[in-house]
Amino acid sequence: MELLQKTNIVLGCKAKPKEDVIREVGRLLYESGYVDENYIDAMLKRELSFSTNIGNGIALPHGVEEAKKDIKKSGIAVMIFPEGTMWKDEMVYVVIGIAGVGDEHLEVLANIADILSAPEAVDNLRTSSVDEIYNLFTGKE
C-alpha cells in the first residue's frame, strides 16, 4: 500500500469546525486501512494538547504517541479547503492527516514540510487536481 491513495485526496472541502475536519481526515485513514478506528480519537486528543496547525495555511493532524499501536501502515490523507477553514484562530487551506509507523512519521513530516515550504505551494494546492496532488506527494508522474 502506498503512502497516499488518490481516494484519500478530497478537493473543494467547505469550512467546518476543526474537530469535524480531524474526524473526516481520520476516517479517510481508517477506511483506507492505514489505521484502526481508535486512531481518530487519538488525533482529536493530540489537538487538545497542542495545535497541529503549522502555519502557512497548513494543519497536520496526527495521533498521540500512545496511539502508535493503532497504526497498521504509514499513510496520509489530504483535504483541500479552497476558501479555508478556521483552525483555532488561523485560517488553513490544506489539512493532511498523518499516520506513521514507528519513526516513519518524522520522515513523512519532513517530506511534507519540504514540499510545502514555499508559500506559493499552498496556493497551488488549493487549485490542483487529485492527480497533481497525488504526483506531488508520491513523486510519481
What are the residues facing 85 on neighbouring strands? 92
Question: Is 105 noted as a catalytic residue in this protein?
Answer: no
- Extract long-range pairs of 102-109: CB within 8 Å, 24+ residues apart: 102/68, 104/74, 105/62, 105/74, 108/3, 108/74, 108/76, 109/60
Q: Which domains does the chain have, with CATH numbers?
A: 6-138 (3.40.930.10)
Angle between helix axes 104-115 and 130-138 (nearest 10 degrees) is 120
DSSP letters along 103-125, please? Answer: THHHHHHHHHHHHT-SHHHHHHH
Task: List the grid coordinates of 136.
Answer: 506531488
Predicted local confidence at residue 102, as pLDDT: 84
Selecting among 23, 46, 62, 105, the annotated active-site residue is 62
pLDDT in tens, 98-112: 999 988 878 888 888
pLDDT at 115 over 70: yes
Predicted local confidence at residue 141, as pLDDT: 59
- The C-alpha angle with vertex 135 and arms to 131 and 137, in degrees rounded to 5, equals 120
